[in-house]
Structures are given as structure tokens and as C-alpha cells.
Structure 1
């Protein structure tokens, strides 16, 4: 039987966010996989950080000044994707939009009253999710970005 990983820690991700147009430091929760070798599995949906997604395995090191764990590199990609969604239309609620994607098994987390992020697991057909995102965007109900689109999902949408 596989041992359950239960120890959590926070890792600081430093990057430039195109969404907020500034340098950011975003803390993400992660499971401790191997403390000695500083390997962690992301257990959050990144709000602003690009090129990392839930379940990715990352290497992080202690910053000598702040004593915080800071992301250094991704060791293994999970196949998950992260999508940022901004609400545009007051005729549809955020909950209605989130429900559409929940039915497709996409977990989401609210950032503020008009912005949420979604985690797309690797076994989800992204072509269907993208079709719904494109429809809602064409109807000017949302705008969306794909800051971390996995190779699996990218291939599903190639023509």
C-alpha cells in the first residue's frame, strides 16, 4: 500500500505577471515529497504564476535572507493545465461559469469577484473545455488566458 503524503509547506514563486503587469511573489501549497532533496508536489492552483500547475513536482531551496522556500525549477510536469478566467458580463454569474467547468471535472478557485483560476487534469479532453471557453469569450461573457498549458492539452487542440 502506498504511503499517503500529508506534510504540507508553502513555496514562494517569484515571477513577472502579465495579468497584473508587475513582479509578484505568490505562495503555493505543496506536499513535501523528499525534504532532503528539496522535492515538492504542487497542491494549489496558481493564481498568477505561469508555467507551473497543480501536481507538478518542483525543486525549491531555502532563501538565506527570508528563510522561506523559493521555487528554483520544475522537475516533472504533471500534465495539468492552469486557466485564468476574467468575468466580463454581468448577465452571467461567476458561479454559473464555474459550474459549466465543474461538470467537466475542472476544479476552480475564486481569486476575487471577477477573476478565477481553473485546474484542468491531464485526463480531461481539453478540446471540449477550450470550445466552451471560446464560446463564452465569443459571447463576451469572459476573457481567458492559458498561462500553463500542458503538452497533453496543447496537442489536443492542434489542427
Structure 2
């Protein structure tokens, strides 16, 4: 990832499906925890980096249309599974760390309005805070 400020560098290992190894195309196969601007299902260009000794993301080639939302519980980490279940029932998968932080995937074909309303209600009740780390054009108002 190209960063002007080294302190902004984010290192995260992602799962990927090989689309075309010869040209470095891969499809992201999990919800990114920390890396902004990419979502599960995106097709990306990655190449082997000698210094890192692994494939390194270089750019997004095709967006999936999915959105990634980062969610942090503000006070009661024991409610993480309960909060994740609310969004699962609304049609959104999530991955968590069991430490009061998880990421939510909003599928490309889902209306984001109800999800956004629930996020805002939980934020207004001071239960969570959240960031739209990769908001698809399909989900922007």
C-alpha cells in the first residue's frame, strides 16, 4: 500500500482467491479488519514483495460493491455477539476479535438505509462507534 506517511501504513493479512496468478489478480475473500478502501469480493492487483516476503496489495482493479463498516463497542464488550447478531439478522456478515471490535460487511445488493439507521441508533445510545472504512458507491446517499 502506498502511503505518504509511514505512520499510516497498515499491515494486515487477507484471504484471497486466485483469479489470475500470472497477472497478479486476486479476489479478497474475507472482511478486512483494518485496511480502508477495500471490501470482501473486490478484485485487487498484488505482487510479491521481496522485503515483505509475501504478496502485497498494490491497487483495487474492480470493486465488488460491498461495503465494510468498522464497529467498536464503547463500554460493554460482552455485548459483541448480541450486536453482531442484530446485523446478521439484517443480512450482514461480520468478523470479530472478541475484544469489542468487529467489522461488518454490507452486501452490494442490500439497501444500506436500515443498516445505517441501526448504526446511528446504537451510536446515539452510546453503545458503539463506527467508521465506514469502505463505503460502496451503491450505499452512499
TM-score by length of 1: 0.81
The reply to whether residue 110 of structure 1 matches residue 96 of structure 2 is yes
What does 1:135-154 align with in structure 2 at a 5 Å threshold?
135-154=121-140
Q: Relative to structure 1, is the Cα distance of residues 43 and 91 closer, same or farther in structure 2, using a 3 angstrom cutoff?
A: closer
Picking from 11, 23, 26, the partner of 1:25 is 11
Q: Which moved more, 1:84-93 or 1:26-35?
A: 84-93
Write out per-residue CA displacement over residues 86-117 of structure 1, whole angstroms, 9 at most, x where no aligned residue.
00132971111111100011000112411011
Gaps of 5+ in 2: none
Which is richer in helix? 2
| Aligned match of 1:8 | none
Runs of 4+ aligned residues of structure 1 deviating over 2 Å after TM superposition are 13-16, 21-24, 64-67, 89-92
Gaps of 5+ in 1: 1-12
TM-score by length of 2: 0.91
Output the aligned Cα RMSD: 1.9
Provide the C-alpha distance between the structure 2 equivalents of 1:147 and 1:91, rounded to a whole number of angstroms. 21
Q: 3-state SS of the aligned residue for 1:93?
A: helix
Which is richer in strand? 1
